[in-house]
Amino acid sequence: MSTIGAYFRLAQVGWVLVREGVISALPADDLPPAIRMAKSFAGLFARQKALDRERSDRLAKAVARLGPSYVKIGQFLATRPDVVGTEFALDLSALQDRMSFFPPEAAKACIEGSLGRPVGELFTQFGAPIAAASIAQVHPGEVETRDGERRKVAIKVIRPGVRKRFADDLEAMYLVAHLQERFVPNARRLRPVEVTRTLEQTTKVEMDLRLEAAALSEIAENTRDDPGFRVPAVDWERTGRDVITMEWIDGIKMSDVAALKAAGHDLDRLADTLIQSFLRHTLRDGFFHADMHPGNLFVDDAGMIVAVDMGIAGRLGKKERRFLAEILYGFITRDYLRVAEVHFEAGYVPSHHNVASFAQAIRAIGEPIHGQPAETISMGKLLTLLFEVTELFDMETRPELVMLQKTMVVVEGVARILNPRFNMWKASEPVVSSWIRDNLGPKRIAVDLKDGLKAALRLAEAAPEIAAKTEKLHGQLMQMSEHGLRFDKETADAIGRSEAHHNRYARLALWAIVVLLAVIAVKIG
């Protein structure tokens, strides 16, 4: 998609958002006067039916008009309340990823193209689709095992043409991000271009079903000995870029509390198991399911929680895991200075700020919590408040921490559906305490020494190569200092062509916007 195409696509998206009353519903707080005026002006063009709807309904209607890839974009932005605001993040999280089915013949063609074998040879039965989302749809099926038995499977197939459509829409997203960074100084802290790049990478991963299969396999290995939690087994023989085949799960959705009670499951135990499993994945493994809403969580006949749909996963490095654990432990012990110091040690808050002043802001979050009953304290809410405070101290967006916070809010919400008096702190204490004991006590020193020794050995092995590269760089710098920086003719010509190309498209874009405004004015008139 060309630059001019991105401008037209952006204009189309903007017009849909204006007509559905989404722009006029945006919060006006802290907006520059010019943008507030443009927002008010946009309200004049909204359809009356749209203005009669609630804000979340306006958003859902607009996204439905824009198409499947915008559902996925909306769901991603729902995980970034730091970017779109808490209220709009809640509206976006309510978007239903339920799309129309595409024909089974198209699904079969997709499978055969991905696996290189006929569907009849791969599956003894291939049923009609039972669920469809923005990226893929699911079919029930059966396969014959080596011992001649038939086994039921779930077959997830990528939606035809979704990659091309998403790539086109992403161009418009990048354009918006670049315009934000250039013209809205307050937005630079949120790094909109990097957020868009994260969206691109996340969705590319989600659109390669081999990577979802790998995520399922990894979390299955990590949780092999964990009590009460598992994920479906992957059928690698029948899995490719555009199709994933996995174990069929016969279970009750966690959102169906009445059915869980009727089946005799202990809801309080399920709530504890869910949050403890999530914290194990986060702190112990640094790899967690980042889309654990009730529709993706089942309880099988044995009372095991089974998590499906691993298209979105999050990772935390060792530093981020220590950061999270020390924050939680600091709030529990009311050691607010330590919580502040952790932020500075991790480099999350710029060093020119005062640690004591930051600790004072942390205390403003922590003290009200200690006056409440434990079952009313939300760990997800605590992290949300923490991120709001860090904004005052120029803390840059940490995408991995925001994804963690969003997932924790969702998981905690599911636990409270099962047990309205769920005590987050009591349920998480065994996992958090164990991790702190092993990683923030004497054991930590031994582990750090071991990691440091490994790094030193790797550095020693790479020393000859580093020396050779350093010598080469030194020679190049000496040559530049004596003769200056020079481009060859081909490079200079390429730079000139690129600059001319950029200027031409900039002029075309401006004319396109003028024409579009003229068309709108004619329609209104």
Question: Could you give the C-alpha distances from 354 to 78, 182, 324, 326, 413, in angstroms and in order?
Answer: 32, 30, 21, 19, 35
The rounded distance, in Å, linking the Cα atoms of 97 and 95 is 6
For residues 307 and 292, the answer to whether their CB atoms sit within 8 Å is yes
Pull the structure tokens for residue 173.
Answer: 């997203």
The rounded distance, in Å, linking the Cα atoms of 66 and 173 is 13
For residues 173 and 196, the answer to whether their CB atoms sit within 8 Å is yes
Distance of alpha carbon 347 from the chain centroid: 22
Going 244 to 250 to 254 to 255, the CA torsion angle's sign is positive
Choose, from 82, 226, 291, 309, the residue flagged as catalytic.
Answer: 291
β-pairing verdict for 136-144 and 150-158: antiparallel
The DSSP call for residue 102 is P
Pull the structure tokens for residue 265.
Answer: 């499951």
Q: Which residues contact 384 (CB under 8 A, 6 or more apart)?
A: 81, 86, 405, 409
Pull the structure tokens for residue 160.
Answer: 């035809």
AA identity, residue 73: I
Sheet holding 229-230, edge to edge: 229-230, 305-307, 297-299, 252-253
The C-alpha angle with vertex 144 and arms to 142 and 150, in degrees rounded to 5, equals 65
Length of the chain, please?
A: 525
For residues 223 and 231, the answer to whether their CB atoms sit within 8 Å is yes
Give the other-Cβ count within 10 Å of 503's Cβ.
Answer: 10
Phi, psi of 411 (to 5 degrees): -65, -45
Alpha helices in 188-280 (DSSP H): 192-206, 209-222, 257-262, 267-279
Q: Which residues contact 416 (CB under 8 A, 6 or more apart)?
A: 271, 422
The rounded distance, in Å, linking the Cα atoms of 262 and 225 is 28
Q: Which residues contact 366 (CB under 8 A, 6 or more apart)?
A: 331, 334, 336, 339
Pull the structure tokens for residue 418.
Answer: 């099962």
AA identity, residue 20: E
Q: Could you tell me where the beta strands, DSSP code E, fall in 262-322?
A: 287-289, 297-299, 305-307, 313-315
82 catalytic, yes or no?
A: no
AA identity, residue 215: A
End-to-end CA distance of the chain: 32
Pull the structure tokens for residue 148.
Answer: 């001649």
User: Mind telling me the catalytic residues?
Assistant: 291
